[in-house]
Amino acid sequence: MKILVTGAAGQLGTAIVDEFGRDHTVVARGRSQLDIADREQVLGLAQDVRPDVIINCAAYNNVDGAEDDPEGALRINAFGVRCVAEAARSVAALLVHYGTDFVFDGEGSRPYLEHDPPNPRSAYAISKLLGEWFARDARRHYLLRVESLFGGRAARSSVDRIITALEAGQQTRVFTDRTVSPSYVRDVASATRALIEGGADLGVYHCVNSGSVTWYELAREVARLLGVEPKLDPVPVAQVILRAARPKYCVLSNEKLLRAGVKMPPWQDALRRYLRERRTRTG
């Protein structure tokens, strides 16, 4: 298959390029080569490449920044996706796009299912929900909701911030009352591939590592795996002034993905593999 990857230099983008590059022809475009919000450019590239699949990893992910720059977030997360979906449709390509747990308000008490009603609480979350809707413009599409991504080469996730601080023996602030299902980019990339190659039903899937954890518990597990003292500053979300609202309970259910034959490893296992990957990378 020929796969066009947009936003290819990001956390997930690099993992997608690695995963598909092993057995497929990958055309990778980072932001400097392709602005997904430039309709002519996106449509033109699709005509030149004629991909079987377009995997869109481009996004505006500055959750707090979006409160002051909603136009910037909408340009990429909503209208950029509309351009990519139109391009996919124009060449009859399958579109894969990624959504977020932030489309939910986080007031739930059981893992969110794909059809639970969204209730976005921030400019970022609204822009991502619009992107989900625009992704449907492609005739065939998978929308995979992920959350708390970690593991890209850029190493700029919250998990990386915790690892780096703990390795340096620095105190790090962690939320005690935000519960998440972290997602290792390599596992998300491999699940994406399994869905496509397995010809799973099209539509929305939650795609996170299995299990759930608060940021405080996750940081303690990182410290345990690193064999360092957990120098942590545990705080409830309400104690920290943030521009954008954070959903408190963001656990996503992988049940639908499992029914499609794709099993996600537990987050603890993902974390262990990622720490090993980081060690290999730094030598």
Ligand X SMILES: NC(=O)c1ccc[n+]([C@@H]2O[C@H](COP(=O)([O-])OP(=O)(O)OC[C@H]3O[C@@H](n4cnc5c(N)ncnc54)[C@H](OP(=O)(O)O)[C@@H]3O)[C@@H](O)[C@H]2O)c1
Binding of ligand X by 9 (CB under 6 A): yes
| E strands in 229-270 | 232-235
Site map (CB under 6 A) of ligand X, residues 250-269, x = contact = --------------------
Contact 150, 160 (CB under 8 A): yes
Q: Does 96 bind ligand X (CB under 6 A)?
A: no
Comparing every residue's Cβ against ligand X, the nearest one is 10
Please, which of residues 153-212 interact with ligand X by CB under 6 A? Answer: 154
Please state, in angstroms and rounded to a whole number, the distance separating the CA atoms of residues 39 and 144: 23
In the bound state with ligand X, the residue whose beta carbon lies nearer, of 75 and 231, is 75
| Rounded-to-integer distance, Cα 139 and Cα 177, Å | 40
Q: Which of 57, 74, 87, 213 binds ligand X (CB under 6 A)?
A: 57
Among 18, 35, 52, 64, binds ligand X (CB under 6 A): 35
C-beta separation of 59 from 97 below 8 A: no
Instruction: Work out how close the CB of 230 gets to ligand X at its nearest, in angstroms, rounded to a whole number.
Output: 22
Identify the residue among 26, 27, 36, 218 touching ligand X (CB under 6 A): 36
60 tagged catalytic: no
First-residue to last-residue Cα distance in the chain: 34
Burial (CB < 10 A; 0-12, 13-18, 19+), residue 29, is: buried
CB contact set of 217 (below 8 Å; sequence gap of 6+) = none
List of residues contacting ligand X (CB under 6 A): 6-7, 9-13, 30-31, 34-37, 57-61, 76, 80, 98, 100, 128, 146-149, 152, 154
Looking at the annotation, which residues are catalytic?
A: 124
